[in-house]
Structure 1
Amino acid sequence: MEPVEIQIGFDPRLHLFLSAAHRTAGARVRCDGVSSLGHVVESLGVPLTEVGALRAGGRPVAVAHVPRAGERIEVDAVRLPQRPPHAGVPPRFLLDIHLGTLARRMRLLGLDAAYENPDIGDGALAAKSAAEQRIMLSRDRGLLRRRELFAGAFVYSHRPGEQLDEVLDRFVPPLAPWTRCTACNGELRQVGKESVRGRLPSGTQRTYETFAECSACGHTYWRGAHAQRLEAIVQHAMRHVKNAESAANAAA
């Protein structure tokens, strides 16, 4: 096939991934005439995890569409909120080594957030995402291009608080605060004081009466000195999800 030239325009939300030359509406791009539109979009720097509707000449097309000479392509950003791949099933997540603080905050909210530390490599992360049907969260565009991923999402911010808001806005997941271990992601169970007394500092034994234990790693939890700060994160997240749900319902 002979190379072809197309015009392509991206939603401004995707400009972060593009070179300056490709941020203008109707930017001209040469293609080989055989590669899919999905391949063309990724070759310009945009992970398909961030792409929503695609149009060629104003009509909807799939990522497998092969662009023709002179076609005008429009690329939308993923539509929010993004529903989980399995309707009615709470999303499960997998975070790479750079998102440890985000993983702990997600677990605080009761979200199933697996986290790999030390780094196990892109191939192993993608395989884990597929095997356990987890949405891969990452700031690594190369990782999000792995074909074996179950699903993925780019994390735009460097700040953990903003990162958490991004995840909540994008997936509007159901929250169950204080039900997961922030250290290992295991589920917490309420336990009596006597069963954990031997593991508690003497000051804690005198001050607190309510305890939880991780069913996976055995870590013991109580509302200690950091409870107020953590409660503020929880309350912010609960309000954030409620507002996101209201906005989604209004737009439906």
Structure 2
Amino acid sequence: MNGPEIQVGFAPELLLFVPRARPAGIIRAPVDGVSTLGHVVESLGVPLTEVGTLLVDGHRVPPGHVPVAGESVAVRPVDRPQRVPGAPLRFLLDVHLGTLARRLRLLGVDAAYESTDIGDPALAARSAAERRVLLSRDRGLLRRRELWAGAFVYSTRPDDQLSDILDRFAPALHPWTRCTACNGLLREATKEEVADQLESGTQRSYDVFAQCAECGRAYWRGAHHEQLEAIVRKHAP
């Protein structure tokens, strides 16, 4: 490789994005005296949503730092728990993360979800408009500049995805308070209020119900309750 270069070392947690930096985690990258360090890091494959501290020759610098030839850069992952400016902490999940969205809602976490592919620009715009942390496995989506905040979902397994997001952001948990279908808040409901959604066997067997204040869906301790209870016990004992 000709021209001025810098040495970039990546933390082990980030090598997923830079496989050619393995096994030492170090790669040499060209610099042009104009592009920012954030741009260089992203050009190597790492979304800035996954970058914590940037060190140049041992000194902390912002992503806007313009690197010069010969500098040695260390790229660290985000701190955990990650603090997101503003309150309350809310999420937006893309079309591929429906199971994760339902499990976050089960735990009472505000998790909006797009069940259809509305496109990257619309997702990024919604993240900014509603100040939601966008969760996605799409690296290109997480590089969009209009995002308010974002995070890469590292695993393809819903159990691991949930554990990772809870560990990374440490959101307040309020199990059984949100509709897993639409994210609305639940309220107590009488059997009569939800009777039109119940089969005769359910009406005879159950007396305690909740109903979503947004979509009207009814909830009770049905056949899948033990499976849901196990998720809640694991993450919100």
With the length of structure 2 as denominator, give the TM-score of the two structures.
Answer: 0.96
Code of the residue aligned with 1:16 in structure 2: it is L
Code of the residue aligned with 2:57 in structure 1: it is G
Code of the residue aligned with 1:106 in structure 2: it is L
CA distance in 2: counterparts of 1:235 and 1:209, whole angstroms: 23
For residue 27 of structure 1, what is the aligned residue in structure 2?
27
Equivalent of 1:93 in 91, 101, 105: 91
Identical counterparts, % of pairs: 64
For residue 224 of structure 1, what is the aligned residue in structure 2?
222
Q: Assess if the C-alpha contact under 8 Å between 2:90 and 2:131 holds in 1.
A: yes
Q: Which has the larger displacement, 208-217 or 27-36?
A: 27-36
For residue 208 of structure 2, what is the aligned residue in structure 1?
210
Q: Secondary structure at the match of 2:192?
A: helix
Q: Assess if the C-alpha contact under 8 Å between 1:10 and 1:23 holds in 2.
A: no
For residue 245 of structure 1, what is the aligned residue in structure 2?
none
Q: Secondary structure at the match of 1:163?
A: helix
Q: Assess if the C-alpha contact under 8 Å between 1:92 and 1:135 holds in 2.
A: yes
CA distance in 2: counterparts of 1:136 and 1:215, whole angstroms: 25
Q: 2:124 matched to 1:122?
A: no
For residue 61 of structure 2, what is the aligned residue in structure 1?
61
1:107 is displaced (CA, Å) by 0.6
1:73 is displaced (CA, Å) by 0.6
Q: String of CA shifts for 1:20-57, please: whole Å, max 9, x gaps.
A: 24663542211222100000000000000000000111
Q: Secondary structure at the match of 1:193?
A: coil
Q: Give the unaligned 5+ runs of structure 2.
A: none
For residue 12 of structure 2, what is the aligned residue in structure 1?
12
User: After TM superposition, which residue ranges in structure 1, 4 or more long, deviate above 2 angstroms?
Assistant: 21-27
Structure in which a larger fraction of residues adopt helix: 1
With the length of structure 1 as denominator, give the TM-score of the two structures.
Answer: 0.91
CA distance in 2: counterparts of 1:24 and 1:182, whole angstroms: 43
1:203 is displaced (CA, Å) by 0.6
1:155-234 paired onto structure 2 within 5 Å: 155-234=153-232
1:3 is displaced (CA, Å) by 5.1
CA distance in 1: counterparts of 2:193 and 2:26, whole angstroms: 67
CA distance in 1: counterparts of 2:82 and 2:155, whole angstroms: 18
Aligned length: 236
